[in-house]
Amino acid sequence: MEKLFFSRLMFIFFLASLSTQAQEFIVYKTEGSPTNTIDSSTKTLKKGALVKSGTIELLKDNKVLFVDQEGRLYELNDTGKYNVPEIKSYPKPFDEDTFSKKYFTYVWKQLKGAENTKQHTGNVYRDNLLDILIEPKDSIRIFSNEITFSWNEKKPNEYYYFFLRNNTTNTLSKIGVYGNSITLFVDDVLLTKGNSFAWGVSQKEFPNFTQIKFNAFKYLTAADYEREKNEITKLTENLLQLGLTQKQIDQELCDFYNLCH
């Protein structure tokens, strides 16, 4: 009797493990910033992330494509919250055009001569990204107890949404602000030393993040800064010998060596 009970128990565990496995999804592609919340922890979904439990939240213009262990695709593209097991209910519709339909459509277009080349305009476009960020500039290392972010000198009195993405913890913070600057202080909540960040601004509450510029920066710990500083001791000494003041040297290091404080 005990053996029978034990074997049944094992069988139930086996089935349970199979059903758990079946609910694993890998993020294949994302648009916008869809999130996965498990208990009270929220993470932005990124390509390659493994999703097992919790809820998926999609804001406006967000989209996420999952792939399961069998290679089937699932797509969430409507705003809302979804439990992870629900993903199975949203299989990505296959390209419904059959092979023959595609082929004969192509033949028809060729017969009609409908496949023209596109317009050639002979210019380049530089207005794709909203690039109004001033400081901190892109790809720098900062050591400071406060950082002042500034942007768009031309429209200093308008309302902006300031976005701070913590690349280390995969979290995104949004702050509404009148004016074209904001100062944040190290607090281990928004700004944590040792983490990597990216920041950007938009006048839309829910912007398309592929259309706005983000400047990345690494927020150095005291140990990081000392190590970086030691690496450039010779350079600093040379600059001092050239007659530059410490303030000028700091500015040079920030401008050309991307190490700011």
Measured between alpha carbons, how far is residue 27 from residues 72, 76, 86, 184, 209 in Å? 12, 11, 15, 32, 18
Distance in Å, CB of 105 to other proteins, minimum:
8
Distance (Å, whole) CA 196 – CA 164:
10
CB of 205 to other proteins, least distance (A): 25
The DSSP 8-state label assigned to residue 136 in this structure reads S
Nearer to other proteins, 68 or 252 (CB): 68
Give whichever of 11 and 108 is closer to other proteins, judged by the CB atom: 108
Beta carbons of 163 and 197 less than 8 angstroms apart: no
Please give the Cα distance from 11 to 205 (Å, whole number).
51
Nearer to other proteins, 148 or 168 (CB): 168
C-alpha span between 87 and 3 (Å, rounded): 38
Q: What type of residue sits at position 11?
A: F
Which is closer to other proteins, CB of 8 or CB of 109? 109
Asked if residue 104 binds other proteins (CB under 8 A), the reply is: yes
C-alpha 83/C-alpha 37 separation (Å) is: 10
The Cα–Cα gap between 63 and 28 comes to 11
Instruction: Name the minimum Å distance from CB 156 to other proteins.
Output: 31
Binding-site string for other proteins from residue 11 to residue 50, where x marks contact by CB under 8 A and - marks none: ---------------x-x-----------------xxxxx
Min separation Cβ 95 and other proteins, Å? 7
- Of 37 and 170, which has the nearer Cβ to other proteins? 170
Q: In the bound complex, what is the minimum distance in angstroms from residue 231's beta carbon to other proteins?
A: 13
- Token pair for 38: 């498990």
What does the binding site for other proteins look like in residue numbers (CB under 8 A)?
26, 28, 46-50, 67, 69, 71, 73, 95, 99-100, 102-104, 106-107, 167-168, 170, 196
